[in-house]
Amino acid sequence: MITFKIVTPNGVTYEDDIEKVTIPTGDGEITVLEGHVPLVSTLSAGEILVHKNGQIVHLAVSTGILEIRPNSEVYLLADTSERAEDIDVGRAEAAKARAEELMKQKDALADVDFARIQAMIERETARIGVSKRYRDVK
């Protein structure tokens, strides 16, 4: 078993003992099973798949940090994270459209603003994708 916890500034969004979890990291997607080597990595916006008792829990996550400890404890410190069923797709689509509108002025944007807007687009794209895939598999 793995002890898995997702912590955001709004609190703990997921906490359970699980069998397996797939996580989007800065170096690509990884799947963590019990006994995984210790690791610290960045989190990328994307989808978390938690496997437990033959069920899969789908969550969207944005940027953050991932820590795998030696005793199969896996911690994600993320800016945001939502369970697929809690995602408001309309809100994510509206936020993505606003960010894309801002991106049109990219020649006038400072690098830091460009990076922020890019991150917003990736966060909303992850929410939309997770929500839609969840509805497809249900």
| Residue 88 binds ligand ATP, judged by CB under 6 A | yes
Can you tell me whether residue 36 is helix, strand or coil?
coil
- Map residues 99-138 to x or -, x wherever contact with ligand ATP holds by CB under 6 A: ------------------------x---x-----------
Strand pairing class (28-33; 39-43): unpaired
- Find, among 44, 57, 54, 33, the residue nearest to 133 by Cα: 57
Instruction: Classify residue 31 as exposed, middle or buried by CB count within 10 Å of its CB (0-12, 13-18, 19+).
Output: exposed
| Residue 82 binds ligand ATP, judged by CB under 6 A | yes
Can you tell me whether residue 43 is helix, strand or coil?
strand
Residues 28-47 touching ligand ATP, rule: CB under 6 A, are: none
| Residue 58 binds ligand ATP, judged by CB under 6 A | no
Nearer to ligand ATP, 10 or 53 (CB): 10
Nearer to ligand ATP, 51 or 98 (CB): 98
| Residue 87 binds ligand ATP, judged by CB under 6 A | yes
Site size toward ligand ATP (CB under 6 A) is 11
Residues forming the site for ligand ATP (CB under 6 A): 10, 80, 82, 86-88, 91-92, 95, 123, 127
